Amino acid sequence: MSKKSLLQGENEKSFREEENLGIVDSLVQLSYLVHSILSRVGESYNLSIIQIRLFGILRDREPSMLQLAQHLNLDKSSVTGLINRAEHRDLVKRTANPNDSRGVNVILTPVGQKLTIEVATEIGRQVTALADSLTENECSQLSILATKIIGAVR
Amino acid sequence: MSKKSLLQGENEKSFREEENLGIVDSLVQLSYLVHSILSRVGESYNLSIIQIRLFGILRDREPSMLQLAQHLNLDKSSVTGLINRAEHRDLVKRTANPNDSRGVNVILTPVGQKLTIEVATEIGRQVTALADSLTENECSQLSILATKIIGAVR
DNA sequence: TATTATAGTTTGTATCGCAAACTAAATCAA
DNA sequence: TTGATTTAGTTTGCGATACAAACTATAATA
Protein backbone atom coordinates (compact mmCIF):
# COMPACT_ATOMS: atom_id res chain seq x y z
CA MET A 1 0.00 0.00 0.00
CA SER A 2 1.40 3.35 -0.90
CA LYS A 3 2.70 4.97 2.17
CA LYS A 4 3.49 8.11 0.28
CA SER A 5 -0.12 9.08 -0.02
CA LEU A 6 -0.65 8.95 3.72
CA LEU A 7 -0.66 12.62 4.37
CA GLN A 8 -1.62 14.09 1.11
CA GLY A 9 -4.37 16.58 0.78
CA GLU A 10 -7.81 16.13 -0.67
CA ASN A 11 -6.76 17.63 -3.97
CA GLU A 12 -4.17 15.01 -4.66
CA LYS A 13 -4.65 13.07 -7.84
CA SER A 14 -1.45 11.14 -8.12
CA PHE A 15 -2.68 7.74 -6.99
CA ARG A 16 -5.62 7.31 -9.29
CA GLU A 17 -4.26 3.95 -10.27
CA GLU A 18 -4.82 2.57 -6.79
CA GLU A 19 -7.99 0.55 -6.52
CA ASN A 20 -8.25 1.16 -2.82
CA LEU A 21 -6.46 3.51 -0.50
CA GLY A 22 -6.19 1.40 2.60
CA ILE A 23 -7.84 2.24 5.85
CA VAL A 24 -5.39 4.91 6.95
CA ASP A 25 -5.32 6.98 3.81
CA SER A 26 -9.00 6.62 3.11
CA LEU A 27 -9.97 7.80 6.58
CA VAL A 28 -7.50 10.67 6.58
CA GLN A 29 -8.60 11.87 3.18
CA LEU A 30 -12.27 11.45 3.98
CA SER A 31 -11.64 13.49 7.10
CA TYR A 32 -10.03 16.22 5.00
CA LEU A 33 -13.07 16.21 2.72
CA VAL A 34 -15.53 16.62 5.56
CA HIS A 35 -13.28 19.18 7.16
CA SER A 36 -13.22 21.24 3.99
CA ILE A 37 -17.02 21.15 3.87
CA LEU A 38 -17.19 22.45 7.43
CA SER A 39 -14.65 25.08 6.56
CA ARG A 40 -16.43 26.18 3.41
CA VAL A 41 -19.87 26.33 5.01
CA GLY A 42 -18.45 28.10 8.02
CA GLU A 43 -16.75 30.63 5.80
CA SER A 44 -20.05 31.52 4.14
CA TYR A 45 -21.45 32.35 7.57
CA ASN A 46 -18.25 33.93 8.87
CA LEU A 47 -17.73 31.07 11.30
CA SER A 48 -14.56 29.15 11.97
CA ILE A 49 -14.62 25.42 12.49
CA ILE A 50 -14.06 25.83 16.19
CA GLN A 51 -17.10 28.10 16.31
CA ILE A 52 -19.18 25.54 14.43
CA ARG A 53 -18.18 22.96 17.00
CA LEU A 54 -19.00 25.42 19.77
CA PHE A 55 -22.50 26.02 18.42
CA GLY A 56 -23.06 22.30 18.00
CA ILE A 57 -22.34 21.86 21.68
CA LEU A 58 -24.43 24.83 22.76
CA ARG A 59 -27.38 23.57 20.78
CA ASP A 60 -28.26 21.06 23.49
CA ARG A 61 -26.40 22.32 26.53
CA GLU A 62 -25.58 25.27 28.77
CA PRO A 63 -22.06 24.30 29.70
CA SER A 64 -19.69 26.12 31.98
CA MET A 65 -16.50 27.57 30.57
CA LEU A 66 -14.55 24.65 31.94
CA GLN A 67 -16.91 22.09 30.45
CA LEU A 68 -16.57 23.85 27.13
CA ALA A 69 -12.81 23.65 27.41
CA GLN A 70 -13.08 19.90 27.96
CA HIS A 71 -15.54 19.37 25.12
CA LEU A 72 -13.43 21.37 22.71
CA ASN A 73 -10.12 20.19 24.10
CA LEU A 74 -8.92 23.74 24.61
CA ASP A 75 -7.23 25.59 27.42
CA LYS A 76 -9.69 27.55 29.52
CA SER A 77 -8.04 30.78 28.50
CA SER A 78 -8.69 29.90 24.86
CA VAL A 79 -12.37 29.43 25.67
CA THR A 80 -12.46 32.88 27.25
CA GLY A 81 -11.35 34.39 23.97
CA LEU A 82 -13.65 32.21 21.88
CA ILE A 83 -16.69 33.19 23.95
CA ASN A 84 -15.65 36.84 24.05
CA ARG A 85 -15.58 37.03 20.27
CA ALA A 86 -18.88 35.18 19.88
CA GLU A 87 -20.44 37.37 22.55
CA HIS A 88 -19.36 40.52 20.75
CA ARG A 89 -21.28 39.26 17.73
CA ASP A 90 -24.32 38.58 19.93
CA LEU A 91 -24.19 34.87 19.12
CA VAL A 92 -23.76 33.59 22.68
CA LYS A 93 -24.30 34.93 26.16
CA ARG A 94 -22.64 34.36 29.52
CA THR A 95 -25.06 33.60 32.34
CA ALA A 96 -24.45 33.31 36.06
CA ASN A 97 -24.30 29.91 37.65
CA PRO A 98 -26.81 30.10 40.51
CA ASN A 99 -24.95 27.51 42.58
CA ASP A 100 -21.48 28.93 42.26
CA SER A 101 -20.87 32.61 41.88
CA ARG A 102 -17.50 31.94 40.29
CA GLY A 103 -19.14 29.93 37.56
CA VAL A 104 -20.24 31.11 34.15
CA ASN A 105 -22.56 29.22 31.85
CA VAL A 106 -22.78 29.86 28.14
CA ILE A 107 -25.95 29.83 26.07
CA LEU A 108 -26.87 30.65 22.50
CA THR A 109 -28.69 33.90 21.87
CA PRO A 110 -31.71 33.80 19.55
CA VAL A 111 -29.43 35.03 16.78
CA GLY A 112 -26.98 32.26 17.59
CA GLN A 113 -29.74 29.66 17.60
CA LYS A 114 -30.96 30.74 14.21
CA LEU A 115 -27.45 30.70 12.80
CA THR A 116 -26.76 27.28 14.29
CA ILE A 117 -29.81 25.80 12.60
CA GLU A 118 -28.93 27.34 9.25
CA VAL A 119 -25.35 26.15 9.39
CA ALA A 120 -26.31 22.66 10.50
CA THR A 121 -28.82 22.43 7.68
CA GLU A 122 -26.29 23.48 5.09
CA ILE A 123 -23.65 21.12 6.45
CA GLY A 124 -26.19 18.32 6.36
CA ARG A 125 -26.94 19.15 2.75
CA GLN A 126 -23.31 19.14 1.69
CA VAL A 127 -22.25 16.07 3.63
CA THR A 128 -25.23 14.19 2.25
CA ALA A 129 -24.16 15.27 -1.22
CA LEU A 130 -20.71 13.94 -0.46
CA ALA A 131 -22.21 10.47 -0.06
CA ASP A 132 -24.22 10.77 -3.25
CA SER A 133 -21.83 8.52 -5.08
CA LEU A 134 -22.84 5.67 -2.80
CA THR A 135 -25.93 3.56 -3.18
CA GLU A 136 -28.48 3.77 -0.42
CA ASN A 137 -27.23 0.48 0.92
CA GLU A 138 -23.61 1.52 0.88
CA CYS A 139 -24.51 4.77 2.53
CA SER A 140 -26.21 3.15 5.50
CA GLN A 141 -23.40 0.61 5.64
CA LEU A 142 -20.88 3.43 5.85
CA SER A 143 -22.76 5.21 8.55
CA ILE A 144 -23.08 1.98 10.54
CA LEU A 145 -19.34 1.37 10.35
CA ALA A 146 -18.49 4.94 11.24
CA THR A 147 -20.93 4.84 14.12
CA LYS A 148 -19.32 1.66 15.38
CA ILE A 149 -15.92 3.34 15.48
CA ILE A 150 -17.32 6.41 17.18
CA GLY A 151 -19.11 4.30 19.76
CA ALA A 152 -15.97 2.29 20.47
CA VAL A 153 -13.86 5.36 21.09
CA ARG A 154 -16.35 6.92 23.43
CA MET B 1 -31.14 8.87 26.49
CA SER B 2 -29.81 9.29 23.04
CA LYS B 3 -27.06 11.78 23.03
CA LYS B 4 -28.14 14.42 20.64
CA SER B 5 -25.47 14.76 18.09
CA LEU B 6 -23.39 17.72 17.25
CA LEU B 7 -25.15 19.01 14.22
CA GLN B 8 -28.42 17.23 13.93
CA GLY B 9 -31.56 18.86 15.19
CA GLU B 10 -34.49 17.03 16.58
CA ASN B 11 -36.75 17.99 13.73
CA GLU B 12 -34.48 16.54 11.07
CA LYS B 13 -34.42 12.81 10.61
CA SER B 14 -35.65 12.22 14.13
CA PHE B 15 -37.14 8.92 13.02
CA ARG B 16 -33.68 7.47 12.69
CA GLU B 17 -32.72 4.65 14.95
CA GLU B 18 -30.85 5.73 17.99
CA GLU B 19 -28.24 3.05 17.44
CA ASN B 20 -27.07 4.69 14.27
CA LEU B 21 -26.10 8.30 13.84
CA GLY B 22 -27.07 8.82 10.23
CA ILE B 23 -24.65 9.56 7.46
CA VAL B 24 -24.15 13.24 8.25
CA ASP B 25 -23.37 12.95 11.93
CA SER B 26 -21.36 9.80 11.60
CA LEU B 27 -19.12 11.31 8.94
CA VAL B 28 -18.73 14.60 10.79
CA GLN B 29 -17.87 12.90 14.04
CA LEU B 30 -15.55 10.44 12.37
CA SER B 31 -13.83 13.39 10.76
CA TYR B 32 -13.41 15.00 14.18
CA LEU B 33 -11.89 11.79 15.48
CA VAL B 34 -9.33 11.58 12.70
CA HIS B 35 -8.66 15.26 13.00
CA SER B 36 -7.96 14.90 16.70
CA ILE B 37 -5.49 12.12 15.96
CA LEU B 38 -3.66 14.36 13.50
CA SER B 39 -3.72 17.12 16.05
CA ARG B 40 -2.49 14.94 18.89
CA VAL B 41 0.30 13.34 16.88
CA GLY B 42 1.30 16.71 15.51
CA GLU B 43 1.38 18.16 18.99
CA SER B 44 3.82 15.50 20.14
CA TYR B 45 6.18 16.60 17.38
CA ASN B 46 5.41 20.29 17.72
CA LEU B 47 3.66 20.32 14.38
CA SER B 48 0.34 21.87 13.51
CA ILE B 49 -2.08 20.13 11.19
CA ILE B 50 -1.27 22.52 8.39
CA GLN B 51 2.41 21.62 8.81
CA ILE B 52 1.58 17.92 8.69
CA ARG B 53 -0.24 18.50 5.42
CA LEU B 54 2.68 20.55 4.16
CA PHE B 55 5.15 17.76 4.87
CA GLY B 56 2.86 15.22 3.24
CA ILE B 57 2.99 17.28 0.08
CA LEU B 58 6.73 17.88 0.24
CA ARG B 59 7.35 14.18 0.65
CA ASP B 60 6.94 13.59 -3.08
CA ARG B 61 7.36 17.01 -4.61
CA GLU B 62 9.36 20.23 -4.83
CA PRO B 63 6.50 22.63 -5.37
CA SER B 64 6.71 26.35 -5.86
CA MET B 65 5.19 28.65 -3.29
CA LEU B 66 2.18 29.16 -5.52
CA GLN B 67 1.66 25.46 -6.05
CA LEU B 68 1.80 25.01 -2.30
CA ALA B 69 -0.83 27.67 -1.86
CA GLN B 70 -3.10 25.81 -4.27
CA HIS B 71 -2.50 22.41 -2.66
CA LEU B 72 -3.16 23.77 0.80
CA ASN B 73 -5.89 26.14 -0.29
CA LEU B 74 -4.12 29.09 1.30
CA ASP B 75 -3.29 32.60 0.24
CA LYS B 76 0.27 32.91 -1.04
CA SER B 77 1.12 35.25 1.81
CA SER B 78 0.05 32.57 4.27
CA VAL B 79 2.43 30.15 2.60
CA THR B 80 5.27 32.63 2.98
CA GLY B 81 4.75 32.62 6.74
CA LEU B 82 4.30 28.86 6.90
CA ILE B 83 7.54 28.23 5.04
CA ASN B 84 9.39 30.90 7.02
CA ARG B 85 8.54 29.23 10.30
CA ALA B 86 9.40 25.76 9.02
CA GLU B 87 12.63 27.08 7.57
CA HIS B 88 13.64 28.61 10.89
CA ARG B 89 13.32 25.15 12.38
CA ASP B 90 15.45 23.71 9.57
CA LEU B 91 12.59 21.49 8.40
CA VAL B 92 12.31 22.86 4.86
CA LYS B 93 14.46 24.86 2.51
CA ARG B 94 13.78 27.36 -0.27
CA THR B 95 15.60 26.63 -3.51
CA ALA B 96 15.90 28.70 -6.64
CA ASN B 97 13.85 27.83 -9.67
CA PRO B 98 16.39 27.55 -12.50
CA ASN B 99 13.83 28.52 -15.16
CA ASP B 100 12.40 31.54 -13.46
CA SER B 101 14.43 33.68 -11.17
CA ARG B 102 11.28 34.96 -9.48
CA GLY B 103 10.33 31.43 -8.53
CA VAL B 104 11.06 29.61 -5.31
CA ASN B 105 10.77 25.87 -4.79
CA VAL B 106 10.43 24.25 -1.40
CA ILE B 107 12.04 20.99 -0.33
CA LEU B 108 12.34 19.04 2.89
CA THR B 109 15.67 19.13 4.69
CA PRO B 110 17.06 15.82 5.96
CA VAL B 111 15.67 16.73 9.37
CA GLY B 112 12.30 17.42 7.80
CA GLN B 113 12.36 14.13 5.92
CA LYS B 114 13.10 12.18 9.06
CA LEU B 115 10.33 13.97 10.94
CA THR B 116 7.87 13.39 8.11
CA ILE B 117 8.47 9.66 8.17
CA GLU B 118 8.12 9.47 11.93
CA VAL B 119 4.92 11.45 11.96
CA ALA B 120 3.40 9.47 9.10
CA THR B 121 4.24 6.24 10.86
CA GLU B 122 2.65 7.35 14.09
CA ILE B 123 -0.45 8.63 12.33
CA GLY B 124 -0.75 5.31 10.55
CA ARG B 125 -0.50 3.53 13.86
CA GLN B 126 -3.18 5.59 15.53
CA VAL B 127 -5.62 5.64 12.64
CA THR B 128 -5.28 1.90 12.32
CA ALA B 129 -5.98 1.60 16.03
CA LEU B 130 -9.08 3.70 15.51
CA ALA B 131 -10.47 0.98 13.27
CA ASP B 132 -9.60 -1.74 15.74
CA SER B 133 -13.21 -2.08 16.81
CA LEU B 134 -14.08 -3.27 13.31
CA THR B 135 -13.60 -6.77 12.01
CA GLU B 136 -11.15 -7.18 9.19
CA ASN B 137 -14.03 -7.43 6.76
CA GLU B 138 -15.71 -4.31 8.06
CA CYS B 139 -12.45 -2.46 7.93
CA SER B 140 -11.84 -3.17 4.28
CA GLN B 141 -15.49 -2.45 3.56
CA LEU B 142 -15.10 0.94 5.23
CA SER B 143 -11.99 1.78 3.32
CA ILE B 144 -13.67 0.76 0.06
CA LEU B 145 -16.64 3.02 0.74
CA ALA B 146 -14.46 5.92 1.80
CA THR B 147 -12.29 5.45 -1.26
CA LYS B 148 -15.37 5.50 -3.46
CA ILE B 149 -16.41 8.86 -2.04
CA ILE B 150 -12.93 10.27 -2.40
CA GLY B 151 -12.71 9.06 -5.98
CA ALA B 152 -16.07 10.55 -6.84
CA VAL B 153 -15.13 13.99 -5.53
CA ARG B 154 -11.90 14.09 -7.52
C1' DT C 1 -10.08 30.96 60.66
C1' DA C 2 -6.41 29.89 57.65
C1' DT C 3 -5.25 27.20 53.84
C1' DT C 4 -6.01 25.23 49.65
C1' DA C 5 -8.59 24.25 45.50
C1' DT C 6 -11.48 25.76 41.74
C1' DA C 7 -13.53 28.93 37.99
C1' DG C 8 -12.54 32.18 35.12
C1' DT C 9 -9.90 36.29 33.27
C1' DT C 10 -5.76 38.79 31.98
C1' DT C 11 -1.38 39.20 29.90
C1' DG C 12 2.19 37.97 26.87
C1' DT C 13 3.75 35.26 23.05
C1' DA C 14 3.44 32.43 18.83
C1' DT C 15 0.95 30.50 14.94
C1' DC C 16 -2.27 30.95 11.41
C1' DG C 17 -4.79 33.30 7.73
C1' DC C 18 -6.30 37.10 4.70
C1' DA C 19 -6.06 41.37 1.96
C1' DA C 20 -3.57 45.07 0.07
C1' DA C 21 0.60 47.14 -1.17
C1' DC C 22 4.97 46.31 -2.80
C1' DT C 23 9.41 44.41 -5.46
C1' DA C 24 11.47 42.07 -9.03
C1' DA C 25 11.34 39.29 -12.96
C1' DA C 26 8.92 37.60 -17.09
C1' DT C 27 5.88 38.23 -20.90
C1' DC C 28 3.35 40.63 -24.25
C1' DA C 29 2.38 44.36 -27.51
C1' DA C 30 3.42 48.03 -30.43
C1' DT D 1 13.41 47.26 -28.58
C1' DT D 2 10.83 49.59 -25.46
C1' DG D 3 6.84 50.18 -22.58
C1' DA D 4 2.89 48.07 -20.40
C1' DT D 5 1.13 44.23 -18.14
C1' DT D 6 1.31 39.87 -15.74
C1' DT D 7 3.25 36.82 -12.54
C1' DA D 8 5.88 35.08 -8.22
C1' DG D 9 6.75 36.03 -4.00
C1' DT D 10 7.35 39.09 0.21
C1' DT D 11 5.97 42.66 3.42
C1' DT D 12 2.76 44.94 6.30
C1' DG D 13 -1.18 45.29 9.07
C1' DC D 14 -4.96 43.15 11.09
C1' DG D 15 -7.80 39.72 13.51
C1' DA D 16 -8.58 34.85 15.16
C1' DT D 17 -6.74 31.08 17.46
C1' DA D 18 -4.12 28.77 21.12
C1' DC D 19 -1.17 28.17 25.15
C1' DA D 20 1.11 29.11 29.63
C1' DA D 21 1.66 31.73 33.62
C1' DA D 22 0.07 35.06 36.67
C1' DC D 23 -3.86 36.91 38.72
C1' DT D 24 -8.77 37.61 41.06
C1' DA D 25 -12.54 35.96 43.37
C1' DT D 26 -15.13 32.42 45.33
C1' DA D 27 -15.72 27.79 47.42
C1' DA D 28 -14.26 24.01 50.04
C1' DT D 29 -11.44 22.03 53.74
C1' DA D 30 -8.85 21.36 57.68
Cα separation, A128 vs B147, in Å, equals 16
Percentage of the residues of chain A whose pLDDT score is greater than 70? 87
Report the pLDDT value the prediction gives residue A20, as an integer from 0 to 100: 65
Q: Write out chain B residues lying below 8 Å of A23, CB-based.
A: 127-128, 131, 139-140, 142-143
Residues of chain A with Cβ-Cβ distance to B7 below 8 Å are 56, 120, 123-124
Asked whether residue A64, judged by its CB, lies under 7 Å from any atom of the DNA or RNA strand C, the reply is yes
Residue B117 confidence (pLDDT) above 50: yes
What span, in angstroms and rounded, lies between the C-alpha atoms of B111 and B103? 24
Residues in contact with A67: Cβ distance below 8 Å, sequence separation at least 6, in sequence order: A61
Q: Which nucleotide is nearest to A77 (CA to C1')?
A: C9
pTM: 0.86
Give dist(CA A114, CA B60) in Å, integer: 45
Inter-chain touch A7–B52, beta carbons under 8 Å: yes
Distance CA A62, CA A60 (A): 7
- How many C-beta neighbours within 10 Å does residue B111 have? 12
Q: Please report which confidence band the pLDDT of residue B154 belongs to, taking 50, 70 and 90 as the band edges.
A: confident
Strand D nucleotides within a 7 Å radius of protein CB atoms = 7-13, 16-22, 25-28
**CB of B59 within 8 A of CB of B108?**
yes
